[in-house]
Structure 1
């Protein structure tokens, strides 16, 4: 991605010289337009659900800068001060969608406290013991080492961070004290940087209102966001003297005294922090979060040596945490409260682990790895993998604690369980739940669809193909057995969808019970778009046109039958319009796929007006204006904003909404002390 000058404002190290841009950063709503609003988009649930939020923001990220750039935008043209330039779509995608995604991730893993503190992470603990130091000192010194690796001034590190390595499943996003919006640094035009942007002390959430549950979909969702952004931030090098981005040409470029890791110092530092959090997460998962169905105990995973035929050892749905320590929470006890294996949990771990595999891959046979990633995992700042774990053989593998070995162990064990526990070989479909002893009988369209996307990324990663923002690119793969198995399961599941779940009207049923047949309930929007996601993934992986055509058919049926022309929003089930972060995720993804993969081409026998670029762009804009931002300051899914997508802070301004849009500043809306910049559930209703 391009390293735009204004982009440096969005990450760590906000100092006096990096000031909030003036002016609007969203589409302004005129008084006349406000009076014309004919619908409500009221909040129905303020709870923050980690899994759904992080999935939605992952899709927002991919439907942000990468989408705009793929459609031909020069990212250097984007400027948060120049609203709707060069076009409203480019601005909405490249600034709003992209930056909403980034800031929400920071809110979760650095500010809220919604999880276990990094100071108690297993890798940090290992470093402390090896150095003979206490964990606080070890973590402080580790942050300084990370700063050095990217050429970042350690004096600019944010204060009172709460870096997490394991995130909880749910929390209340309302702030519990007055947010410090006093001036930290001022500019000549009366705008200023508020203290809370450099000191996170006032941004904590209420620990008593957290569901202290470790759920794979939740910590996997956080992992997905961390992996995607870390992959972006560490995908290149930069110069120390001018902080200019350099293309990655060789893994030893950072040996030059004037070259450091990361596309910029600020982004690079955020990238290594995210990677440090992931590293500790993976160690914690592998060494203690797998559940042995026979002994009914939490055990250590065995990765490449794992054989499900000897008994299932998998990631259970819910583990209850007993905490010790308020300021730096640590788990004093873990108790499995739901031992079942859910398909959602498994694909939401498979996807991020596959993305991270593409970053950490040190296999000698893989020649496609970005040299910048090789540089990051060559020992400094992150440990290199032992040679036994990077050769073509698996019988000589050793237990190791580098990020590559840990991630590979988790990735392969999850993949093997996905096949053994959730894939019904007789019918060729993924089953929603396995209780540890017996497989269920229900195929869920949304879950199966997203499983196909996770498998697509897995196949690319294991075969040494580009992932991350480059996951659509063609390259020569390694043709691994795991990759072939993934493709085979994908084709069978996609065929099952087409043959057993699609209806005469072009939609897909919500689910299918083996031995009984398809659901008879009204089709949901999530089921349709989840299927579009999965069928498109299968098309991209196999190049078989029938999967693309099926996805196009469903997409067109959705646009024809579920679009409310008057309100300009989609119905989500029957005539209701209830939106959750999962709904938002699938909508964002579907628009991206429609623009990049499913749109009308001259060679298409069937031409759909719904898949014309102008129509899709119009829907994309309506989605952001009407559902995400909403019709008023108290409505819409995005409940607050700041920094690259939000209001500037100005001396004497008390509005809490200086850009005059429908999303308030964090301290100004939805509660006594305000609310974090995250997504909530809403219901849309016609006012007339």
Structure 2
């Protein structure tokens, strides 16, 4: 492992000063465990040291943070793309036989840095922040409280009462979870939201306590947990309520439904063993990858159950703008339109420090945006999959049969996805081509004044909206044809044959539209008029091109038609030739402009295009992609200030001690990041980088923003990137646009490859490739140390907390 000298020059005595009570098992990682009140030792996932990233790092001339506002529909989408290339994504790449071996930076960057940043965006954005409506006030707990109350009635009343939502959650649900996953309690003051607010300010309201002094009101245990106080108390990580925009944005809801569902799948993808919470001696099988992830996965699943129930019963608008419910199973837009409006105002009661209680909902913006509908289709399709694949969590008769939630609830996201697909066709197409906006004819008078009204479907398609919708449509088809979803219907090979056929037709027709408007060099514009095919937005920006790449790849994955991957390769070559800036390791946002503006949507588009092109490329051609990825990630995410802070498990193992940036990577420990008390480890909304000479870029100088530089938090940053010529750097990333696979197999000896079932249940076409060596002459131990140890530690303790040698 190539370790950074600047990291290891720190005296190891620093660990004993840290309140973590971490036991160093090797110089590569640290054991991380909870000393439970009942005497059990509970192992958790821990972080590991960074490899030396200096060969991928160069100094950026000037940086400004333009906006730190957290907007789930943007940052959570970007974080979703981070997650899909992290631990489970790396697993997919290994199974696809991509040439990853012995590449410490790529393995660590994907499996650790992007994993933890994706996880932090999720946890801090939807729970610690209080930036949403707590699940305790959601419809699932209302239903559960009524159900439990119905069992406590006797002929002679002896004081039995109807349980509240809080009763059901604290007295029934959480005790069930403690026993099922093995964790002694949940983080105090965490507020898992089932309806996230539109935006919030991610700065903390109080200092982050690192001492091991949590005083547990549940067990009476005071300190000596083996973890810092903040592990069990999230109070300091709240965000300022006055700076939250307390509206419900349907794009955010859809993206969060997808994000949470993916993490449910990941956190409950395995079971773990631990001492029994009942007798503290016998080791038993417990739910979740470990106790912490078991709890987090359960909370995420429960918030999404509340969310889909709210979508079905409360947040559907009719053509008169009235909110209510729908039976999505029998829904037909021809019998009266029911849809999800863009923005909803929740009427909230804030009483003291209790979670906000919603009294009702009103439509604030009745328009339907394709972005929102695509996100909701994506999220519902995936959550439906969670309900049938996560068989430890979703069962027929929980908790009696060991589950947490009812499997039958899967019908809700399944039929909501059907409904959304029908509405996309009814509201967001013109002659089969997708359009971005639909407006109702009848609205309240104040809405009539608020918007420049244009009832009906628009003529314009934003390419971002089309790309997101392609992703949702591909996911929908995969879910409805998933063999695991078809177990109960052995006579079927498709749960929704008519709708999946329709989804494929939409993608094909619109992918053909993309090819028809694609420029001669592969370029795309921001938006188009679907009736004339003429651009209606700028044609010299980077984001539409990355979106075009991944949209065409989704079409290729769904149809296996070569013209779509050829179109994607054409644009891929164009962005490397025209937008890549080798000296800084960034993609320009605007042709000819030395001010690079990086928005969270740019991260989402670039990362998805990059990852999906790796899977869609013959493996013998992917080595340059893998080698370049760490350069892109270090510069775009870390050096630019896009990742605003990090927790101890992604590198800041000496949090609260000495420098704010102990691991010397330019990303501060969260308690010493921006602001009086630090900032959540979420992505910034937008940053700007001057790639010209410092002080000489007037456009950059005129931008309002907060100056940022990597050394500002005290880290000793090493820069050792050896830049290539601009031409060589671009050329090595290009692909031949046309590859005749049939000829390559017949004449050149390439090997046919089958489909890859990715860990999340989606299907990936693996293209033919030159023969590659299977197996290795190295021992298993050598392979582990040269690859896996970069993330898991040299004894493997990063996997479960239990030594590889044990």
TM-score (norm 1): 0.81
The partner residue of 2:300 within 274, 279, 289 is: 274
Once the two structures are TM-superposed, the CA of residue 621 in structure 1 deviates from its matched residue by 1.3
Q: Is residue 168 of structure 2 the alignment partner of residue 138 of structure 1?
A: yes
Correspondent of 1:329 among 349, 356, 372: 356
Q: Tell me: CA distance 1:167–1:26, structure 2 relative to 1, closer, same or farther (3 Å).
A: farther
Superposition map of 1:150-169 within 5 A: 150-153=180-183, 155-169=184-198
Kept in 1, the 8 Å contact 2:181–2:288? The answer is: no
CA distance in 2, matches of 1:324, 1:21: 39
Matched, 1:441 2:450: no
Given candidates 591, 609, 614, the residue that maps to 2:623 is 614
Match status 1:678 vs 2:712: no
Alignment correspondent of 2:417: 411
Aligned to 2:727: none
CA 1:25 to 1:42, structure 2 compared with 1: closer, same or farther past 3 Å? same
2:264 maps to 1:230: yes
Distance 1:419 1:373 in 2: 34
CA distance in 2, matches of 1:144, 1:600: 47
Residue 521 (structure 1) aligned with residue 547 (structure 2): no
Give the deviation of 1:264 after TM superposition.
Answer: 3.5
Counterpart pick for 1:347 among 368, 374, 384: 374
Partner Cα distance (1:151, 1:449) in 2: 38
Q: Tell me if 1:360 matches 2:387.
A: yes
- Name 1:176's counterpart in structure 2: 205
Q: What is the match of residue 566 of structure 1? A: 583
For 2:601 and 2:52, locate their aligned partners in 1 and report how far apart those are by CA, in whole Å: 25
How far apart in 2 are the matches of 1:492 and 1:462?
21
Q: 1:7 to 1:492 in 2, by over 3 A?
A: farther
The answer to which of 129-138 and 227-236 deviates more is 129-138
For residues 217-296 of structure 1, the aligned pairs below 5 Å read 217-240=251-274, 258-293=284-319, 295-296=320-321
Aligned-partner Cα distance in 2 for 1:377–1:105: 29
Describe the shift of the 1:512–1:266 C-alpha distance in structure 2 as closer, same or farther (beyond 3 A): same
Secondary structure of residue in 2 paired with 1:518: coil
Change (3 A) 1:53 1:269: same
Change (3 A) 1:114 1:26: farther
Alignment equivalent of 2:671, drawn from 667, 674, 679? 667
**Contact 2:369/2:436 (8 A) holds in 1:** yes
Aligned to 1:216: 250
For 2:447, the equivalent position in structure 1 comes to: none
Which of 587, 592, 596 is the aligned partner of 2:615? 596
1:152 CA drift (Å): 1.5
SS for the counterpart of 1:43 is: strand
Rate the CA distance shift 1:370–1:176 in 2: closer, same or farther, 3 A.
closer
Q: Report the equivalent of 2:471.
A: 453
Q: 2:518 aligns to what? A: 502
The answer to whether the 8 A contact 1:26-1:659 is kept is no
C-alpha contact 2:70 2:199 (8 A) present in aligned 1: yes
Equivalences, count: 608
1:241 is displaced (CA, Å) by 5.1
Counterpart CA distance in 1 for 2:641 and 2:357 is 35
Q: Does 1:338 align with 2:338?
A: no
Secondary structure at the counterpart of residue 346 of structure 2: strand
CA distance in 1, matches of 2:267, 2:670: 26
SS in 1 for 2:64: strand
- CA distance in 1 between counterparts of 2:460 and 2:409 reads 36
Q: Distance in 2 between matches of 1:238 and 1:570?
A: 42
Counterpart-to-counterpart distance in 2, 1:377 and 1:636: 48
- Structure 1 pair 513/169, CA: closer, same or farther in 2 (3 Å)? same
* Structure 1 position 625 matched with structure 2 position 645: no
SS at match of 1:222: helix
Aligned to 2:218: none
Counterpart for residue 96 of structure 1: 113
Question: Partner residue of 1:71?
Answer: 93
Q: Secondary structure at the match of 2:689?
A: strand
Distance 1:539 1:145 in 2: 47
Alpha-carbon distance in structure 2 between the residues aligned to 1:496 and 1:13? 59
Q: Is the 8 A contact 2:646 2:669 kept in 1?
A: yes
What secondary structure sits across from 2:227 in the alignment?
strand
Under a length normalisation based on structure 2, what TM-score does the superposition of the two structures give? Answer: 0.70
For residues 428 and 510 of structure 2, the distance between their equivalents in structure 1, rounded to whole angstroms, comes to 12
Q: State the Cα distance separating 1:146 from its structure 2 match.
A: 4.3
Query: Counterpart of 1:538 in 2: which secondary structure?
Result: helix
Contact 1:12 1:266 in 2 (8 A): no
CA distance in 2, matches of 1:659, 1:282: 41
Residues 417 and 53 of structure 1: CA distance in aligned 2, closer, same or farther (over 3 Å): same
Measure how far apart 1:166 and its partner are: 0.7
Compute the displacement of 1:85 (Å): 7.4
Following superposition, the deviation at residue 673 of structure 1 comes to 0.8
Alignment of 1:106-121 (within 5 A): 106-121=123-138
Q: Deviations over 1:367-418 (max 9, x none)?
A: xx56546648766534546xxxxxxxxxxxxxxxx52122223222212111
User: Which string of whole-angstrom CA distances, capped at 9 and with x for unpartnered residues, describes residues 93-139 of structure 1?
Assistant: 11111121012111122200000011111111222233322332221
Cα deviation 1:19-50 (Å, max 9, x = unaligned):
896873465559xx98x614223210111111
**SS of the residue aligned with 2:414?**
helix
> Is the counterpart of residue 303 in structure 1 residue 292 in structure 2?
no
Alpha-carbon distance between aligned partners in 1 of 2:527 and 2:655, rounded to the nearest angstrom: 52
Matches within 5 A, 1:416-427: 416-424=422-430, 426=431
Gaps of 5+ in 1: 79-83, 244-255, 362-368, 386-401, 468-474, 602-611
Q: Find the counterpart in structure 2 of residue 393 from structure 1.
A: none
SS at match of 1:291: strand
Kept in 1, the 8 Å contact 2:369–2:438? The answer is yes
* Largest Rg, 1 or 2: 2
> Which range moved further: 326-335 or 550-559?
326-335
SS at 2:461's partner residue?
Answer: strand
> 2: CA distance between counterparts of 1:87 and 1:530?
29
Deviations 1:478-513 (A, max 9, x none): 5721111111111111111112x2011111222211
**Deviation at residue 260 of structure 1 after TM alignment:** 4.1
In the aligned structure 1, how far is the partner of 2:178 from the partner of 2:185? 12
